[in-house]
């Protein structure tokens, strides 16, 4: 029987998180790693989401790696194709292609307590790894609600992240389910070509103008020839958003001015008082993600668009029925209903030291030490883990901070392995202490109580089934970078694989590193 391949690090996912991890590993001198990708191409969410109008709502110069600036962004807020192309260039520039394994969907990952390593099964084969990094991100698995009668709908049904480009919407009666970040881009893109568009709106969103424009040739040349100008532009964009977090996380009442701007934006675009009333949220701005669009409201005001101020309740043949009884006969249904964020399917496939899956460990809510490590899952780390999301800035900043933590984690493992106390091998692992995870999570949740996400009066996808916000980071990105710069040894137990003899127990020795 052939011995399975073994790598130092196995990374799951090839989006921003996975590619960023690959770059940082190579820059730290670690080349013995693989990036496991379930699809046949890299890109993560920016590969999967190809719906009409797809673009980022964070300025491009901030929504890119600090170590891979791009002076050629064509717009202030670039589209999906440009972001996808950027990720392809990152893979080429940093020599990541040899590490990518396509068609390698994770089927199962189990911690081997005796060998102190991960046993990994994928659709492309099996391997083992010292460290497992989950960089799948929270926007990986589309969520379509269980709607009675949907299975019997005779027309076309698909999710915004699984757009069927082979189906022509021209002249069709189309239903858009949801009014989130994807829907406000899809609606203006398809409204001019469909016969009729019915938007099922469970909860209206706050929408601000999108200050988008083409990047001039002069700007691009300047950023290419004088890179410091691009860095200064990025820093200015970052500083504005750092100052904003105080209103979101500590003083939600300060968001009143922003709310007035959003109301003015709505009033200017929608003249119909009834429609305007239906589009006006009844919660504090910022409680849900603030959306950006100059074209969404005008599209909703067009004669061929109906807004149903109620969520979809059931499907009767080709008729969609809302919770308020409103019906609409349609040919196609597009779901813009988000993703499995607080109940990620991959959590069912990762099994820790005690035979417990990550999903079971998180049955009462996601929790991870510094958003990265989980008690009972040694040498396992998440990128964009619990309470690392942002409501106002670029997730790339959070990803890079977590990659600092990853590199320091590996340095600590190397140092511990080099110690090799008498009678033991050099193989070691780190396991987050349960009390450290609890203490961190308690502090985060205590801070969360005063934020707009908790006090704003809305029910958002930031909240889990228990109503707890296990998604967003209630602080600045600078603070998150500080708390993830290095691991705190006192927060971890050290597991060492003993030198085996015929009469020795193969269970690893455990020590609390902070008290050794």
CA distances, 126 to each of 41, 106, 109, 115 (Å): 20, 10, 10, 16
**Other CB atoms within 10 A of residue 365 CB:** 17
pLDDT number for residue 498: 67
DSSP state of 274: H
pLDDT tens per residue, range 361-384: 999 999 999 999 999 999 999 999
pLDDT tens per residue, range 202-259: 999 999 999 999 999 999 999 999 999 999 999 999 999 999 999 999 999 999 999 9
pLDDT number for residue 421: 61
DSSP state of 121: E
pLDDT number for residue 504: 39
Angle, CA of 515, 355 and 421, to the nearest 5°: 35
Dihedral of alpha carbons 385, 386, 387, 393, sign = positive
pLDDT tens per residue, range 429-444: 999 999 999 999 999 9
H-state helical runs in 171-226: 183-190, 217-225
**Residue 501: which pLDDT band, with cuts at 50, 70 and 90?**
very low
In 3D, which of 81, 136, 131, 76 has the Cα closest to residue 104?
A: 136
Please give the model's pTM, rounded to 2 decimal places: 0.94
Q: Can you say how many angstroms the Cα of residue 231 is from the centroid of all Cα atoms in its chain?
A: 25
Q: What six digits make up the tokens of 107?
A: 């089927």
| Domains observed in the chain | 6-141+340-496 (3.50.50.60), 150-215+246-335 (3.50.50.60)
């Amino acid at each position: 029987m052939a011995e399975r391949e073994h790598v130092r690090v196995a990374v799951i996912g090839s989006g921003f998180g996975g590619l960023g991890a690959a770059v940082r590993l190579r820059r730290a001198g670690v080349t013995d790693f693989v990036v496991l990708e379930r699809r046949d191409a890299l890109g993560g969410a920016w590969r999967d989401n190809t719906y009409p109008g797809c673009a980022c709502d964070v300025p491009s110069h901030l929504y890119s790696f600090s170590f891979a600036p791009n002076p050629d962004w064509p717009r202030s807020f670039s589209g999906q194709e440009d972001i996808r192309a950027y990720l392809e260039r990152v893979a080429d520039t940093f020599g990541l292609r040899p590490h990518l394994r396509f068609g390698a969907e994770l089927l199962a990952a189990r911690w081997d307590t005796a060998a102190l390593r991960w046993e990994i099964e994928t659709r492309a084969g099996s391997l083992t790894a010292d460290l497992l990094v989950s960089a799948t991100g929270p926007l990986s698995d589309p969520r379509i609600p269980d709607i009675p009668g949907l299975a019997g709908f005779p027309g076309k049904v698909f999710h915004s992240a699984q757009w069927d480009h082979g189906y022509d919407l021209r002249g069709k009666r189309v239903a858009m389910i949801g009014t989130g970040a994807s829907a406000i881009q899809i609606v203006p893109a398809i409204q001019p070509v469909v016969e009729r568009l019915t938007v099922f709106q469970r909860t209206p969103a706050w929408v601000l103008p999108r200050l988008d424009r083409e990047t001039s040739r002069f700007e691009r040349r300047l950023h290419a020839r004088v890179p410091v100008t691009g860095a200064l532009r990025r820093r200015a964009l970052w500083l504005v958003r750092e100052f904003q977090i105080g209103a979101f996380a500590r003083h939600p009442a300060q968001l009143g001015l922003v709310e007035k701007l959003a109301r003015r934006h709505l009033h200017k675009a929608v003249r119909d008082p009834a429609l305007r009333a239906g589009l006006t949220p009844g919660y504090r701005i910022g409680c849900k993600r603030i959306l950006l669009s100059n074209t969404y409201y005008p599209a909703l005001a067009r004669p061929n668009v109906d807004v149903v101020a109620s969520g979809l309740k059931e499907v009767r043949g080709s008729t969609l029925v809302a919770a308020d009884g409103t019906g609409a006969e349609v040919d196609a249904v597009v779901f813009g209903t988000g993703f499995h964020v607080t109940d990620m399917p991959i959590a069912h496939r990762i099994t820790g030291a005690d035979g417990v899956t990550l999903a079971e460990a998180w049955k009462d809510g996601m929790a991870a030490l510094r958003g990265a490590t989980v008690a009972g899952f040694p040498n396992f780390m998440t990128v964009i883990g619990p309470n690392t999301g942002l409501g106002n800035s670029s997730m790339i900043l959070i990803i890079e901070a977590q990659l600092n933590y990853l590199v320091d984690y590996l340095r600590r493992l190397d140092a511990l392995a080099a110690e090799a106390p008498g009678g033991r091998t050099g193989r070691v692992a780190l396991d987050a202490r349960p009390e450290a995870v609890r203490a961190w999570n308690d502090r985060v949740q205590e801070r969360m109580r005063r934020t707009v996400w908790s006090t704003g009066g809305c029910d958002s996808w930031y909240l889990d089934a228990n109503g707890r916000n296990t998604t967003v980071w209630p602080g600045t990105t600078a603070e998150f970078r500080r708390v993830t710069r290095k691991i705190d040894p006192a927060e971890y137990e050290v597991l060492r694989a003993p030198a085996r003899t015929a009469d020795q127990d193969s269970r690893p020795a455990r020590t609390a590193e902070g008290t050794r």
